[in-house]
Chain A
Amino acid sequence: MSPRATKTRTVTPRRVRLLVATRKGLWTLTSEATRRTWKLVGPQFLGHIVHHAMLDSRDGRTLLTAARTGHLGPTVFRSTDAGRSWKEAVKPPAFTPDSGRVVDHTFWLTPGHPSQPGTWWAGTSPQGLFRSADGGVTWDGVAGFNAHPQRKAWCGGDQDGTPDGPKLHSILVDPRDPLHMYIGMSSGGVFESVDGGADWHPLNQGVRADFQPNPDLEYGHDPHCVRFAGGNPDRLYQQNHCGIFRLDRPATRWQDIGTGMPRSVGYVGFPMVAHPYDEDTAWVFPMDGTAVWPRVSSGGKPAAYRTRDGGGTWKRQADGMPKTQAWWTVKRQAMTHDFFPTVGVYFGTTSGEVWGSRDEGRTWKCLAAHLPHIYSVTLA
């Protein structure tokens, strides 16, 4: 077992606020510090497909939302008053006209490094990386990725990838170094930059790609979600199409940590959540990835799984969840945590329910229901 992370637990927050982004708009779910009574407010952007909504943790009040409608193009909305009012980006993420590529939707938003207060990063479908230097008002493509000579080989065609389109996601900025970044691509794999995005290299050794004729590839993998371990940015957790993996830098070979999952449940899922204070603790939410990939809870019995030893073993956490005939699952952006001393864990389902745990996953309660298909749940 690795040494425990040294990050200290913060003082108890005064409230929890979750941004719930759905296929039909954005809602906000708020609780006082007891985390017992929740208030749902919304919708905003009713009718928009909202893939991601993120708080700028650097100022605590700026929010960005990635949205499109079924028939109109993709855009980004920005609020500087914690969501009371919104303005559309003057120049949303878009590829250069000469590229021939078209952004279908902005899928992922990440605030930049604390030393770069106006910087935001966005990942799109198909795979593109964009940067804003003015807090999300205008966006430019990151040429070091979008125009990289290997980009097409890494990503495949824009028509390849997941049923909802190939995606660039999991944009991680090293809290110690704004030039050091990771991205995940479905498909493509995990890539690293040490120069602020000017160049990228694949980082996929040890990760399986069972869907490829040669499973030991340099790139072409399908990471679903990649997260820093809490308090330790030298450790990465990855929920992948073909398993669950952990990487401890400076090593470059991922370790398979999905073998401890029950065989009847498997290791396929989308979200990955790392405990904010303990580098050895993380959660996944498995789904049925057998046969034609039904993408529902295994056997209709949803459950989170938690490791407390860096992925060596996993414990089922389903107390309070339906015991049978619950055929929903959780998308990659739809699971998160809060920063209470006893961490709260939250997820939104494909059937429009938000679930939460006040005790690190031991017990669960449905906090909201009857929402549209949930795409992301983030702390704001």
Chain B
Amino acid sequence: MLRSYTDGAAQVSVTVDTSVPRLSDVLAALDAAYPGMRFRMIDEAGRMRPHVQVFVDARIERDPLALVASGAKIMIVGALSGG
């Protein structure tokens, strides 16, 4: 579903211009490149939506303010559940 924002691409790269990048910065950069994408993952209170899983370098991360290392690989997965 999120690939509808990236023209089908399963993997994209974004650059964050901040010395101490956080996950929220990465998601903001994604939204700038692919408008609308962030709100599908993060609600207006700044919380990760319940069924969206984000892995930073294979570590599950639910805090948008978590620090992200330079060159980190971030995986966003829709945790499909229910009927």
Binding site for B on A (CB under 8 A): 47, 69-73, 75, 88-90, 92, 94-97, 99-103
- Docked complex Cα distance between A47 and B78 (Å): 13
> Which residues B45-69 have CB closer than 8 A to chain A?
45-47, 49-52
The reply to whether A75 and B44 form a contact with Cβ atoms under 8 Å apart is no
Known contacts A89-B36, A96-B44, then 8 further A-B pairs from the complex at CB < 8 Å, ordered by chain A residue: A71-B78, A72-B49, A75-B39, A75-B40, A90-B35, A97-B46, A102-B43, A102-B45
- Docked complex Cα distance between A69 and B80 (Å): 10
- Docked complex Cα distance between A95 and B42 (Å): 13
Contacts of B23 in A (CB 8 A): none
The reply to whether B44 and A71 form a contact with Cβ atoms under 8 Å apart is no
Known A-B contacts A71-B81, A75-B39, A75-B40; the reply to A102 vs B1 at CB < 8 A is no
The reply to whether A73 and B43 form a contact with Cβ atoms under 8 Å apart is yes
Contacts of B40 in A (CB 8 A): 72-73, 75
The reply to whether A90 and B44 form a contact with Cβ atoms under 8 Å apart is no
Q: Looking across the interface, which residue of chain A has its beta carbon closest to that of B50?
A: A71
| Interface residue B28 (Cβ < 8 Å from any Cβ of A) | no
The reply to whether A72 and B43 form a contact with Cβ atoms under 8 Å apart is no
Contacts of B78 in A (CB 8 A): 69, 71-72
The reply to whether A71 and B80 form a contact with Cβ atoms under 8 Å apart is yes
- Docked complex Cα distance between A320 and B52 (Å): 45
The reply to whether A97 and B44 form a contact with Cβ atoms under 8 Å apart is yes
The reply to whether B49 and A73 form a contact with Cβ atoms under 8 Å apart is yes
The reply to whether B44 and A72 form a contact with Cβ atoms under 8 Å apart is no
B42 CB, min distance to chain A CBs, angstroms: 8
| Interface residue B8 (Cβ < 8 Å from any Cβ of A) | no
With an 8 Å Cβ cutoff, the count of chain B residues facing the other chain is: 22
The reply to whether A103 and B1 form a contact with Cβ atoms under 8 Å apart is no
Q: Is the interface of A mostly helix, strand, loop or mixed?
A: loop
- Docked complex Cα distance between A69 and B43 (Å): 14
Contacts of B1 in A (CB 8 A): 47, 69, 72
A97 CB, min distance to chain B CBs, angstroms: 6
The reply to whether A72 and B2 form a contact with Cβ atoms under 8 Å apart is yes
- Docked complex Cα distance between A107 and B26 (Å): 31
Contacts of A100 in B (CB 8 A): 45
Identify the interface centre among B1, B35, B50, B81: most chain A CB within 10 Å of its CB.
B1
The reply to whether A94 and B35 form a contact with Cβ atoms under 8 Å apart is no
Contacts of B35 in A (CB 8 A): 90
- Docked complex Cα distance between A70 and B83 (Å): 9
Contacts of B10 in A (CB 8 A): none
| Interface residue B41 (Cβ < 8 Å from any Cβ of A) | yes
Within 8 Å by CB of A94, from B39, B79, B80, lies B39
- Docked complex Cα distance between A75 and B43 (Å): 11
Contacts of A99 in B (CB 8 A): 44-45
> Which residues B11-32 have CB closer than 8 A to chain A?
none
Contacts of B50 in A (CB 8 A): 71
B3 CB, min distance to chain A CBs, angstroms: 12
Contacts of A73 in B (CB 8 A): 39-43, 49
The reply to whether A101 and B45 form a contact with Cβ atoms under 8 Å apart is yes
The reply to whether A95 and B81 form a contact with Cβ atoms under 8 Å apart is no
The reply to whether A102 and B80 form a contact with Cβ atoms under 8 Å apart is no
